[in-house]
Amino acid sequence: MNPAEECPRTEALSAWVDNELGEAVRAELAAHVAGCAICAPVLAEFRQLHGAFAALPELAPDVDIAPLVDRRIAAAAAQPQTPPRPPPQRMRWWQAVPLALGGVLSLSLGAYLGSMLMLGSQATAQPAMRQMAAFTAIPPGALALCPTRQTCNPLER
Amino acid sequence: MLAPEGTDEDWIRRAQTGDRTAFPELVRRHQTAIYRFLLRMLGSHEDALELSQDTFIKAWQALPQWQPEAQFRTWLFRIASNTALDALRRRKLVEFVPLEESFDAPDSGPDPERQAQATQEVRQLAASLQKLAPEHRQVLLLREVEEMSYEEIGHVLALSEGTVKSRLARARAALIEIHARRRP
């Protein structure tokens, strides 16, 4: 046993209670426990727990499980067996050609219609911008400089 | 009823060759231990009874693959243990169901006070056991109640003997801590 092992030596003490230690290791541990104030109470608790388990009442089912199991097995055997589903067939490369062509065609059509829509929106946006220019503070054709402050800001008096 | 002669392996071979009387015999041989383990794992009689049947059904279904190298008892406990953990995860069964209400501790002598104390100890242990993590509970039950060796527990739980040893130590320490907290 490793002398540097920390106390309580829980694993070794637990294995001792289970009678799973070799004779030499058990003797060495017994000598240690006799003089160790940490390991001795742990061993006592493990032994007490072992005794408490031994005192647990015997539990048994109140029915015979065998006929219940037998009935379920018989019921399962009487059910018609569903035929196994055939594995899904793998697609050949030539079967995928129409799908690929359809995909390319759809993408091309989408790109074409999208570009047409963009061009149309640019053509209609320009006249609207010209009409809106009448409502700006600077009339069309005027210079950007204000002759008086009131011209640019009529609320200011 | 007297148990018929023959080892588990004999009855398994008979069941594998189609003898309908063989598997019920195997169930009868192991039903008490499997039920007891599942009852302590789940804390409910109904669940233990249902999962005992499920365990034996699974064993019957896997019987054609059973190899003579595997001990039938540890193989059955492996199925039962996995079935119990699955059920606990599925149902999140964490509430304590008092098991020992109708049981008395074994007679510890003529002293009624001592007997009452022993009964109380048994009830507290059963209650503390239900508070223990399922992985700790199963390893302790296999060792303390079913009296399996570390090697057998290793086969049931698919663990090395070293892991069984350390898990048992941790399970004992955890149970003692829970037990101490429950004491008045």
What chain B holds in terms of domains, given with CATH numbers, is 1-95 (1.10.1740.10), 105-184 (1.10.10.10)
3-state SS class at B4: coil
Whether A1 maps to a domain, the answer reads no
Contact between chains at B144 and A63 (C-beta distance less than 8 A): no
Bond into A57 cis (ω within 30): no
Whether A38 maps to a domain, the answer reads yes
**A44 chain-B contacts, CB cut-off 8 A:** none
Contact between chains at A55 and B53 (C-beta distance less than 8 A): no
Residue B21 has pLDDT above 50, yes or no: yes
What proportion of chain B, given as a percentage, has pLDDT over 90?
62
- For chain A, helix, strand, coil in percent to 5 are 60, 0, 40
Per-residue pLDDT of B126-166, as tens digits, reads 889 999 999 999 999 999 999 999 999 999 999 999 999 99
Shortest Cα–Cα distance, A32 to chain B (Å)? 18
Whether A104 maps to a domain, the answer reads no
What proportion of chain B, given as a percentage, has pLDDT over 70?
85
pLDDT at site B121 = 78
Per-residue pLDDT of B79-97, as tens digits, reads 999 999 999 988 765 444 4
Q: How many CA atoms lie within 13 A of B48 on its CB side?
A: 22
Amino acid at site B12: I
- A125: which 2 tokens? 């946006």
Task: Provide the number of structural domains found in chain A.
Answer: 1
Whether A50 maps to a domain, the answer reads yes
Whether A40 maps to a domain, the answer reads yes
pLDDT at site B125 = 87
Per-residue pLDDT of B62-77, as tens digits, reads 998 888 888 999 999 9
Q: Write out the residue range of the structural domain in which residue A38 sits.
A: 10-54
pLDDT at site A135 = 61
Whether A112 maps to a domain, the answer reads no
pLDDT at site A88 = 62
Residue B108's nearest CA partner among B99, B119, B96 is: B119
Contact between chains at B40 and A59 (C-beta distance less than 8 A): yes
Amino acid at site A116: M
Whether A137 maps to a domain, the answer reads no
**A54 chain-B contacts, CB cut-off 8 A:** 144
pLDDT at site B18 = 85
Whether A82 maps to a domain, the answer reads no
Query: Which of A69, A70, A73 is best to mutate for the B interface (most B CBs within 10 A)?
Result: A69
B59, B81 contact by CB (below 8 A): no
What proportion of chain A, given as a percentage, has pLDDT over 70?
66
Low-confidence ranges of chain A (pLDDT < 70): 1-4, 81-89, 120-157
Whole-angstrom distance, CA of residue B174 vs CA of residue B179: 9
Q: Which of A78-82, B21-25, B106-110, B112-116 has the lowest mean pLDDT?
A: B106-110
**A66 chain-B contacts, CB cut-off 8 A:** 24-25, 27-28, 31
Q: Which DSSP letter does residue B142 get? A: I
In Å, how far are A35, A64, A104, B128 from B45, measured between CA atoms?
46, 14, 64, 18
Determine whether B82 is exposed, middle or buried from the number of CB atoms within 10 Å of its CB (0-12, 13-18, 19+): middle
**B27 chain-A contacts, CB cut-off 8 A:** 65-66, 69-70
